[in-house]
């Protein structure tokens, strides 16, 4: 759905005012101007500049000037971390040998058969770094969940940089030539050990060794219908959702109806809107992209927030802002000043598939963005080396940048790999005795009727269990009638 004629002048006026304010802020605040100018492929648009200035003012408080300087230094560090991680991501797809000095690779340094969902992983890097940045800015370790598990290269690259790896990965990988070469070699490696399990603590999707990973994300839709129920009161969760799952599992549209301030933590859904492959075009893209999605979300009870999906600072601002809005609305509903459902903020991160590397925005960017295989194609080799050079960050700078984002000891918080959902240890449930028979001899009934009775008993014997039941039509047709009555679905 296209913008109406009346909307276009209003949008132009808003953009003009934003541009003027951003220019004025740059002229008055040297630290903001230095960050906004950037020195990587990460852009900082006018709207993000204005939003970040307001956020810094709020976070700095009475310690205005000194604290603001520290925050802008942290923002610049996030840019370098994001660019370096994107550099690692493209190597994970194409290279079998990595050189941290950034030298051009020769044909023999590349994989004969490259693999990787490169475009989505490149887009995921600013999002995950933005999540880390929000944590560092607020002193809170949020949980995270990713619906598109094939973007794991982004998670693993950032975790490696920031020392957020699992113990098994720490034994194998490091930000050195040999450590990174081991990383790219194991990515999509599929080697099996003598016991029949994975030989390497790294795979093509999120796995048990991914720092902070709690969902494999291979089947679209599981994360999307679960995320709103996951955080307990006092916890916070950032859920990176799949645009493909949006089409295939529409149950996530009900998320605003399920959230309750009384027993749920703050949730921030994020969708990176970067387009899918031509043969997988979604209704969202067919109907009008971000404009259509924004209106659809509003009708479903969400509060859509558009950001620049190429900028970690934009993600950090949006996470903090989303939580602020949801907290205010939840408190109002809990106190009787408003009614449920409350509007649930929903971040729309607009980006280009594979931004920052050759082939961005093309159909090929979904998987292998280069024009050919650099193992034997000279043009593809030159494309890779040119693109990688633009992403490369001098490794001598990285330790200081990492220390700024890795401020957990100073803020007395846990690393992201140990977030609340990743370290959950619930008490054992009380299991009621299962009756051997519940019908007179010779009578017949559906086996689902027996399951229905047992599940209701389980709920009754565990009043502290946070039970959630979805898909009521299926449960009704499958004779789970008592379950629906007990839980007042």
Residue 236, H or E segment: strand 236-241
pLDDT(2) > 50 = no
* Maximum CA extent, the chain: 86
| Cβ contact 310:355 at 8 Å | yes
Query: Do 355 and 369 meet the contact criterion of CB atoms below 8 Å apart?
Result: no
Q: Is 359 helix (H, G, I), strand (E, B) or coil?
A: coil
Six-digit token pair at 55?
């956020």
CB burial class (10 A; 0-12, 13-18, 19+) of residue 223? buried
Q: What is the mean pLDDT of the segment spanning 349-355?
A: 95
The label of the residue with tokens 């880390």 reads 132
Task: Say what the pLDDT of residue 252 is.
Answer: 85
d(CA 193, CA 186): 13
Query: How much is the pLDDT for 278?
Result: 46
Q: In what order do the strands lie in the sheet with 236-241?
A: 143-146, 236-241, 266-273, 344-350, 302-308
**Which of 286, 300, 298 shows the shortest CA–CA distance to 252?**
300
Q: How many CB atoms lie within 10 A of CB 148?
A: 25
Query: For position 287, what pLDDT does the model report?
Result: 59
pLDDT at 435: 72
Query: Average pLDDT of 6-31?
Result: 80
Note the pLDDT tens digit of each residue in 439-475: 777 778 788 888 898 899 999 999 888 887 766 677 7
Contacts of 267 (CB under 8 A, 6+ apart): 227, 228, 230, 231, 236, 237, 239, 255, 259, 326, 344
401 has pLDDT over 70: yes
Count, residues in the chain = 489
Q: Is 189 left (phi over 0), alpha (psi -120 to 50) or beta?
A: alpha
Predicted pLDDT of residue 248: 67
Whether cis (ω within 30° of 0) applies to the bond prior to 341 is yes
- pLDDT one-digit tens code per residue, 202-232: 999 999 999 999 999 877 778 888 999 999 9
> How many C-beta neighbours within 10 Å does residue 79 have?
25
pLDDT band for position 6 (cuts 50, 70, 90):
very low
Q: Which two tokens stand for residue 36?
A: 């906004």
Residue 282 has pLDDT above 60, yes or no: no
CB burial readout 312-341, b (16+ within 10 A) else e:
bbbbbbbbbbbbebbeebbeebeeeeeebb
Q: Is the dihedral of CA 464, 470, 472, 476 positive or negative?
A: negative
Compute the CA torsion angle 216, 217, 222, 224 (nearest 10 deg).
130
Residue 268 has pLDDT above 90, yes or no: yes
pLDDT tens, residue by residue, 94-115: 999 999 999 999 999 999 999 9
* Distance set, CA 132 to CA 135, 152, 184, 271, 408 (Å): 5, 16, 23, 17, 11
Query: Within a 10 A sphere around the Cβ of 124, how many other Cβ atoms?
Result: 30
By C-alpha distance, which of 94, 91, 4 is closest to 368? 94
């Amino acid at each position: 759905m296209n913008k109406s004629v009346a909307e276009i002048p209003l949008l132009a006026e808003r953009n003009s005012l934003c541009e003027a304010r951003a220019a004025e802020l740059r002229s008055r605040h040297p630290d903001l101007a230095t960050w906004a100018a950037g020195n990587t492929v990460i852009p900082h648009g006018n709207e993000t500049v204005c939003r970040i200035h307001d956020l810094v003012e709020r976070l700095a408080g009475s310690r205005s000037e000194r604290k603001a300087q520290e925050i802008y230094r942290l923002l610049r560090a996030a840019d370098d971390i994001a660019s370096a991680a994107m550099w690692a991501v493209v190597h994970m797809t194409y290279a079998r040998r990595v050189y941290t000095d950034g030298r051009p690779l020769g044909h023999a340094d590349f994989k004969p058969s490259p693999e990787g969902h490169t475009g989505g992983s490149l887009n995921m890097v600013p999002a995950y770094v933005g999540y880390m940045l929000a944590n560092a800015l607020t002193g809170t370790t949020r949980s995270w969940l990713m619906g598109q598990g094939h973007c794991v290269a982004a998670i693993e690259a950032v975790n490696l940089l920031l020392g957020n790896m699992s113990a098994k990965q720490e034994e194998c990988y490091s930000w050195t030539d040999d450590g990174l070469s081991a990383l790219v070699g194991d990515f999509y490696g599929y080697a099996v050990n003598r016991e029949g399990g994975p030989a390497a603590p790294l795979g093509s999707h999120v796995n048990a060794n991914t720092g902070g990973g709690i969902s494999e994300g291979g089947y679209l839709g599981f994360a999307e219908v679960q995320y709103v129920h996951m955080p307990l009161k006092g916890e916070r969760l950032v859920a990176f959702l799949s645009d493909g799952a949006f089409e295939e599992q529409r149950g996530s549209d009900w998320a605003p109806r399920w959230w309750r301030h009384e027993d749920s933590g703050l949730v921030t859904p994020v969708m990176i809107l970067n387009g899918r492959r031509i043969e997988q075009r979604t209704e969202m893209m067919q109907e009008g992209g971000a404009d259509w999605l924004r209106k659809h979300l509003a009708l479903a009870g969400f509060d859509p927030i558009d950001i620049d999906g190429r900028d970690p600072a934009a993600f950090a601002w949006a996470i903090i802002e989303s939580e602020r809005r949801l907290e205010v609305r939840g408190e109002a509903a809990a106190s009787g000043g408003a009614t449920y459902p409350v509007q649930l903020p929903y971040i729309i991160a607009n980006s280009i598939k594979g931004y920052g590397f050759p082939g961005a925005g093309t159909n090929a960017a979904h998987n292998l963005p280069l024009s050919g295989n650099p193992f034997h194609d000279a043009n593809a080799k030159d494309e890779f080396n040119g693109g990688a050079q633009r992403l490369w960050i001098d490794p001598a700078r990285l330790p200081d940048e990492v220390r700024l984002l890795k401020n957990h000891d100073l803020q007395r918080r846990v690393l992201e790999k140990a977030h609340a959902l990743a370290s959950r240890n619930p008490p054992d449930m009380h299991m009621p005795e299962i009756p051997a028979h519940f019908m007179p001899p010779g009578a017949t009934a559906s086996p689902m009727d027996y399951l229905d009775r047992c599940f209701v008993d389980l709920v009754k014997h565990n009043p502290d269990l946070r039970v959630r039941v979805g898909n009521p039509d299926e449960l009704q047709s499958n004779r789970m009638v008592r379950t629906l009555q007990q839980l007042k679905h």
